[in-house]
């Protein structure tokens, strides 16, 4: 039995009428043909490796560079609360580190974490965007 014989033997999930090969909708009730809808959904939801960036994707290297100012990369990624928190903590620690070296040693790991988090956050944002077609936050 060929591929066309297999497609024509599918039944409409709504009314049970035989679904025609290559049709998107049942001719009896108008319900979606599961074979064509499944193929169309897979093609539409996952871009192939040959496609460029989606319009709303975040540039992970730009997020990393913006994080030279602690919290700016998170703000670029759309993580407003985290970005503002890191920005405030970074400014306070930077100003306090002028007085003591100990606070400078505390501020460097926070600054490095902010840079890593902005880079990883942009990659996570892009992954969810490519998978679902919607921004994650």
Residue 64 in domain: yes
pTM, whole model, 2 decimals?
A: 0.59
66 with 116, same domain: the answer is yes
**Cβ atoms of residues 13 and 28 within 8 Å:** no
Residue 2 in domain: no
77 with 128, same domain: the answer is yes
Residue 82 in domain: yes
Report whether pLDDT(81) > 60. yes
78 with 126, same domain: the answer is yes
Q: In 10 A of CB 91, how many CB atoms? A: 14
36 with 67, same domain: the answer is no
* Domain interval for residue 117: 60-132
Closest Cα to residue 71, out of 126, 29, 110, 22? 110
29 with 72, same domain: the answer is no
At residue 67 the predicted structure's pLDDT band, cuts being 50, 70 and 90, is very high
Q: Which residues contact 135 (CB under 8 A, 6 or more apart)?
A: 56, 78, 125, 128, 129
Residue 51 in domain: no
pLDDT of 2-52, one tens digit each?
Answer: 444 444 456 777 787 876 666 777 777 777 766 665 554 444 555 555 556
Q: Quote the number of domains for the chain.
A: 2
């Amino acid at each position: 039995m060929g591929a066309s014989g297999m497609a024509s033997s599918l039944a409409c999930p709504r009314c049970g009428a035989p679904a025609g090969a290559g049709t998107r909708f049942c001719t009896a009730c108008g319900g979606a043909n599961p074979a064509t809808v499944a193929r169309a959904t897979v093609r539409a939801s996952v871009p192939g490796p040959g496609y460029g960036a989606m319009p709303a994707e975040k540039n992970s290297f730009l997020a990393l560079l913006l994080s030279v100012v602690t919290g700016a990369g998170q703000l670029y990624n759309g993580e407003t609360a985290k970005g503002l928190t890191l920005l405030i903590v970074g400014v306070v620690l930077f100003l306090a580190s002028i007085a003591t070296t100990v606070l400078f040693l505390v501020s460097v790991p926070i600054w490095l974490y902010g840079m890593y988090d902005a880079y990883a956050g942009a990659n996570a944002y892009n992954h969810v965007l490519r998978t679902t077609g919607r921004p994650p936050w």
